Amino acid sequence: MERRQSQRNHMKMTSRVGAVVGTLLLVTLSSAAAFVAPRTNSFRNRVQLHMGVGTTLKRVKDSVLSKERSREDLKIGIAGFYDRSSKLWEDVWGEHMHHGYYVPVDRTDHQQAQVDLIDEVLKWAHVGEDDAIKPKTVVDVGCGIGGSSRHMARKYGSETRGITLSPYQAGRGNELAKEQGLSSDLVSFQVADALDMPFDSNSFDLVWSLESGEHMPDKPTFVQELLRVAVPGTGRIILVTWCHRDLEEGETCLTPKEEKLLAKINRAYYLPKWCSVNDYVELLEKNGAENIERDDWSHIIAPFWKAVIRSSLNFKSVLGLLKSGFSTQRGAYAMFLMLRGFNKGLIKFGLITCTKKAE
């Protein structure tokens, strides 16, 4: 209980710091934009500046007011968002594009915390508890630049395949694997859709999805694909994803205020409608999954938000954000909306694991 209270206090402090940082970040970006703009009285440059401001305002309006995106728009938007933002993330945080494991809550070795999250999730899901159940084949669904894939390939010696919608991420993942001495036979990455994976059925001992499920516009198809490519009987699925809270007894939907907040986040991060952990469990049960387990690690990853905010308070991060374009800047600002939902108990960091039914 004391640990959880401490973590809640961290979350509240992070929210307050976040509001200040968000304001400073917007001011800094505006000042930087003014600094780098050509200081000239020529008519041509004034017209270009006016057009640039007009375009930016249009994109801001679109991010706030536009309706929910179509599946194809989401697919294109996700690829573009990560093509533009992944280098900045790697420059600041390294190869792991996910949260960290904060036990104890005051740890400051943030990149190791990211690695520990992978290992602790694997341990929680009973993966590799003995040599007989170490996965020989792994697919990383929504792999980022491949940090988890390469880690598991080294940890288990497993043939690991990663898929992403981002050409930049797939290319960078393969570059890093080569730099780290991992052959393409052992680890490789490609551009592919998680809702239509280019793999044979019954192919993988471990199907791994870490912080990518929230991007899936068709959750039933996503769950079906995760199960399809798993080996019958022993194939394990691990799904770690952002969800909204489970509905209380008697509720049929979230409150209008909660829906409005999530809709704003969706515009920034190219997300479809959210679902709950309970929704995922019901989908897995419907598709015959066995040995289903779930957990809520929201309190365990909470300090990572504070670390991300602190990392933005340096010249390198601000300059990188300025260069990365509007969608990345919008995503950085939306982080504070995520914090708001997180602190209100609306947004949850859910863990789900199960095995595929034997044929």
Per-residue pLDDT of the chain (359 residues; tens, 9 = 90+): 555 555 555 544 444 444 333 433 333 333 333 333 333 444 344 434 443 445 445 444 554 554 678 889 999 989 998 998 899 889 888 999 999 999 999 998 999 999 999 999 999 999 987 766 799 999 999 999 999 999 999 999 999 999 999 999 999 999 999 999 999 999 999 999 999 999 999 999 999 999 999 999 999 999 999 999 999 999 999 999 999 999 999 999 999 999 999 998 898 888 999 999 999 999 999 999 999 999 999 999 998 877 776 766 665 555 655 555 555 555 566 778 888 899 999 999 999 999 999 98
For residue range 134-159, what is the model confidence (pLDDT) as tens digits? Answer: 999 999 999 999 999 999 999 999 99
Instruction: Please state, as a whole number, how many other Cβ atoms lie within 10 Å of the Cβ of residue 213.
Output: 23
With 0-12 / 13-18 / 19 or more C-beta atoms within 10 angstroms meaning exposed / middle / buried, residue 260 is: exposed
Phi, psi for residue 267 in degrees, rounded to 5: -60, -40
For position 45, what pLDDT does the model report?
45
Residue in the block written with tokens 């993330």? 89
For position 322, what pLDDT does the model report?
57
Dig out the tokens for 342 from the structure.
């997180």
| Residue 211 backbone class (left: φ over 0; alpha: ψ -120 to 50; beta: rest) | left
DSSP string, 283-298: HHHHTT-EEEEEEE-H
Paired strand residues for 221: none
Residue in the block written with tokens 């930016």? 56
Integer CA distances (angstroms), 46 to 37, 60, 326, in order: 10, 21, 21
For position 137, what pLDDT does the model report?
98
The angle, 0 to 180 degrees and rounded to 10, between the axes of the packed helices 147-156 and 110-124 is 60
Q: Are strands 206-210 and 187-191 parallel, antiparallel or unpaired?
A: unpaired
pTM attached to this predicted model: 0.80
Asked if residue 171 lies in contact with residue 146, where contact means CB atoms within 8 angstroms, the answer is: no
Asked if residue 146 lies in contact with residue 97, where contact means CB atoms within 8 angstroms, the answer is: no
Find all residues with CB under 8 Å of 299, minimum gap 6, and list them.
3, 4, 7, 8
d(CA 51, CA 170): 34
Dig out the tokens for 291 from the structure.
């040995």
> Rounded to an integer, what is the distance from CA 132 to the centroid of its chain?
31
d(CA 149, CA 208): 9
Phi, psi for residue 173 in degrees, rounded to 5: -60, -45
Q: Are strands 290-296 and 206-210 parallel, antiparallel or unpaired?
A: unpaired
For residue range 20-66, what is the model confidence (pLDDT) as tens digits? Answer: 334 333 333 333 333 333 334 443 444 344 434 454 454 445 545 54
Find all residues with CB under 8 Å of 43, minimum gap 6, and list them.
none
Q: Residue 142: helix, strand or coil by DSSP?
A: coil
**DSSP structural state of residue 166:** -
